[in-house]
Amino acid sequence: MTPLLFVAVAAAGGVGAALRFVVDGVVRARIRSSYPVGVTIINVTGSFLLGLLTGLALAQLVSEQWLLVLGTGLLGGYTTFSTASFETVRLLQLRRPGAALANGLGMLAASVAVATLGLWLGTLAG
Amino acid sequence: MTRAQRADHLRAGPVALVAAGGAAGTALRAAIGLVVHPVGGFPLAIFGINLVGAFVLGLLLQALTARGPDTGRRRTLRLLVGTGVLGGFTTYSALSSDSAVLLTSGGVALALAYGLATVLLGAVASWGGIALGAAVGSPEGRDRMPVDSDSSGDPQ
């Protein structure tokens, strides 16, 4: 990775994180719930987009550089694991095991499913 | 404190804090990805990054909560380090996308092991961080910490 590409990946990660902050804030303002709806939406949509981007890269419609900037950078910074995991434990502490299970394993299943769909659609385009 | 009337996510300052932290966290994740390579198809770098990030976020948020209300310097730290650095350091899209690639290339068992281990050990790491944060941030005495101007209106 060239220094310029590395800087571009980091900057894209900053943009992704800011986007996550704004999307989560907007969702929180609209949906008042102790369930982390915002992080769920962010992680599921980001997973679909990275699956799609990876598929397009496999089909050689997207270059390795763009996969790094948009995938590792933008979508990597947009989606997050630490908050999702923290929320799972918080839901357990609130004695909501069903919600904790949905937030933990449900989010994983949904994210992998849409990433697989995106990957398939991306390779199909090639 | 009139500027508190607008939510943080609609204000340039907090958004810039999150972006700066997110760029740093992403840089760290990318750098680790350059030196830590997958082992037998298992994405070791992202696996380790997500577990470490989950632990540190639990520690940070619990320690900040134990030290007082989410205002002033504590809020700045939460946005910069929690939402920004750790949010950008850890990632979910690589977890699901790598799992999808493993699934579609015949590595079903490896994909399942990777996803389940990340989520389950991630919850244990978060819990461990929260427990440690509660232990180091005992409320007694912390309330008497110097209060900065932003939180002057809070009952301490």
pLDDT digits (tens, 9 = 90+) for B75-101: 999 999 999 999 999 999 999 999 999
Residue B138: band (very low, low, confident or very high) from pLDDT cuts 50, 70, 90 = low
For residue B5, the model assigns a pLDDT of 67
Is the separation of the CB atoms in B68 and B3 below 8 Å?
Answer: no
Q: Report if residue B151 sits inside a domain.
A: no
The series of mean pLDDT values per 10 residues for chain A, 126 residues long, is 96 98 96 94 98 97 97 98 98 97 98 98 91
Q: Does B94 touch chain A (CB under 8 A)?
A: yes
Chain B residues 11-70 with a CB less than 8 Å from chain A: 14-16, 18-27, 29-31, 33-34, 50, 53-54, 56-58, 61
Contact B23 A11 (CB under 8 A): yes
pTM for the structure as a whole: 0.91
Q: Report if residue B23 sits inside a domain.
A: yes
Name the region of A89 (left: φ>0; alpha: ψ -120 to 50; beta: rest).
alpha
Residue B145: band (very low, low, confident or very high) from pLDDT cuts 50, 70, 90 = very low
Q: Domain of A60?
A: 3-124
Contacts of A79 in chain B (CB under 8 A): 91-93
Residue B139: band (very low, low, confident or very high) from pLDDT cuts 50, 70, 90 = low
Q: Report if residue B144 sits inside a domain.
A: no
* Most B CBs within 10 Å, among A81, A88, A94, to test the B interface: A81
Q: Domain of B112?
A: 10-35+43-139
Q: Report if residue B80 sits inside a domain.
A: yes
ipTM over 0.90: yes
State the total domains in chain A: 1
Q: Report if residue B85 sits inside a domain.
A: yes
Rounded distance, CA B71 to CA B134, Å? 19
Rounded distance, CA B58 to CA A30, Å? 26
